[in-house]
Structure 1
Amino acid sequence: MTVATTSLAPANSTRGEWARFGAFLIRPVLPDRAEPFRLSHAVPVMRLLLLDLLVMGLLLSIAGLAMLSGIDIPETALAGMEMGAMLVVFAVLVAPITEEAMFRGWVSGRPGHVLAVLILGAAALVMTSDLTRSEAEVNWKAIAVAGTALVGAILAVILLRNRGAMGWFQRLFPLFFWISCALFAAIHLLNFAEAEWWTILPLVLPQFSVGMMLGYLRVNYGLWSSMLLHILHNGAFISLVLLATGAK
């Protein structure tokens, strides 16, 4: 039996990749599984990174014009933090890998991936619900829950690795795709803790925009490709923050 890997024609140029991405947004279609890993697939990631940087540049320019016109834009949580090595590593490596696993690991529609994310999500809820207990008890239980969930998630992926995307999930994929983009943007509202959420929705447009690109890469080229773009995106942002901090 032939397994479908992608519904879109391959792109031979940056412009072609962008057109392919545009066609995907107009009609999001989920293949049975992403294309097998190839080093050459780093090229589409770089093409989407260029598009991402152009979009981010446009949005930053709009934000700059808004500030010049007197509009007060809330600062992010990073504004009050010292940009040490641990924070940089977390922002550039840990956060992108974790967020991709949680927000886009499941959009493949494959049973193993969906089950793995459900296990990890349930574990996160259990760990969060115990934050009111003593620190020692929370730490030990957190270790046990996290370890068990990680093993369970890995087993789910391994045991169900030959299963393609579920048919019902493919039919509802456009809905799931846009939900994943919206959730990814919404979680970043927490970066503006002191502002009312409805007043800062425009400020998470960058996350919504890159979320669309990450989702496109994830379902067509694999989770590694969305992780790579996410790492490069955060790396570019942190580099700007470091340059701005160093210039002061």
Structure 2
Amino acid sequence: MSDALAPSAAPPVSPLAPTPFLASWREFAAYLRRPVHQVPGSLKAPGAWRAFGALWLLDVVGLVVLLVVLTLYMKVTGLPGPDAFDQVPREWLVPLVVLAAPVIEETVFRGWLAGRPRALWLLGGLAALALAAMLLADGTPLRLAVVGLVLLAMPLGWYLLRKRAAPGWFGRFFPVIFWGTALVFGLVHLSNYPSPGLLALPLILPQVWAGLVFGFMRMRLGLAAAMLAHAGANALAVAPTFLGL
């Protein structure tokens, strides 16, 4: 989804400027307290790659701390660990987990955080397709008609809304949208665990944390930065499989 946005009704944050390494961590903490809707930044901005490195390291440090704590939690509760990687053939781990998943998940969960109507339209189309898959019987004329109409409407809406700026309500509700997206991103990953339930909810904290970091990176450094950071985190996650650990 394009980042070539017109300024929204919410006051935009100034473009990323060169900052000390740890200043990016402080900026992230401040952003969590008050997420602000803005025109997304870019990895081409001055100091962007330094900020990217700092935020990716912050993501990894947070994940390591959470994994240590949750390992103890699983021992106390007897909950099994994730089995998502066990369901993927080893030769497909890199193509699916490291390359495809970051692009797809960042597009679905954070590609529309800039608030452009055309991106929101596509998100609504994806939601409609998911509902059709869940509620309508496979192969029925109604399901085929709904899916066909949605697939036609998605590119048409993208074209017609291409020049529209983010609506004012998106900026007003952005803090809820930002945090809600990270929470939903975490909840979706409950499927990684063989025993999902209330007791397993703490196990998605690493994904919620990653969702917050990737969301901030998407807004400050662009969608490509979030995808790249996500791919790097997933690469670390699958590395033990290839190292025989």
TM-score norm. by structure 2 comes to: 0.81
Aligned to 1:173: 174
Larger fraction in helix: 1
Which one-letter code corresponds to 1:16 in the other structure? A
Structure 1 unmatched runs, 5+: none
SS in 1 for 2:81: coil
2:55 to 48, 56, 67: 48
The 1-side partners of 2:225 and 2:60 are apart by: 17
Which one-letter code corresponds to 2:112 in the other structure? W
2:138 to 129, 133, 136: 133
Which one-letter code corresponds to 1:221 in the other structure? L
Give me the identity figure in percent. Answer: 31
**1:44-193 to 2 correspondence within 5 Å?**
44-66=51-73, 70-78=76-84, 80-81=86-87, 83-130=89-136, 133=138, 145=147, 149=151, 152-193=153-194
Aligned to 2:31: 24
The 1-side partners of 2:232 and 2:158 are apart by: 26
CA distances 1:130-187 after superposition (whole Å, capped 9, x unpaired): 5x536xx89x959x948963x6545544543433321111011111111101100111
Q: 1:96 to 1:141 in 2, by over 3 A?
A: farther
Aligned to 1:38: 44
Q: 1:11 to 1:160 in 2, by over 3 A?
A: farther
Report whether the alignment pairs 1:218 with 2:225.
no
Which one-letter code corresponds to 1:10 in the other structure? A
The 1-side partners of 2:148 and 2:206 are apart by: 31
> Does the 8 Å contact 1:105/1:114 carry over to 2?
no
The 1-side partners of 2:154 and 2:220 are apart by: 22
> Does the 8 Å contact 2:66/2:206 carry over to 1?
yes
User: RMSD over aligned Cα, in angstroms?
Assistant: 3.0
Q: 1:42 to 1:119 in 2, by over 3 A?
A: farther
> Does the 8 Å contact 1:8/1:20 carry over to 2?
no
CA distances 1:17-55 after superposition (whole Å, capped 9, x unpaired): 111111111111101x21356276344332211001111
Which one-letter code corresponds to 2:24 in the other structure? E
Q: CA deviation at 1:221?
A: 2.4
Which one-letter code corresponds to 2:166 in the other structure? A
The 2-side partners of 1:20 and 1:176 are apart by: 19
The 2-side partners of 1:161 and 1:36 are apart by: 20
Which one-letter code corresponds to 2:172 in the other structure? R
> Does the 8 Å contact 2:16/2:41 carry over to 1?
no
> Does the 8 Å contact 1:104/1:223 carry over to 2?
yes
TM-score norm. by structure 1 comes to: 0.80
The 2-side partners of 1:70 and 1:126 are apart by: 41
> Does the 8 Å contact 1:184/1:211 carry over to 2?
yes
> Does the 8 Å contact 1:17/1:47 carry over to 2?
yes
The 2-side partners of 1:83 and 1:191 are apart by: 15
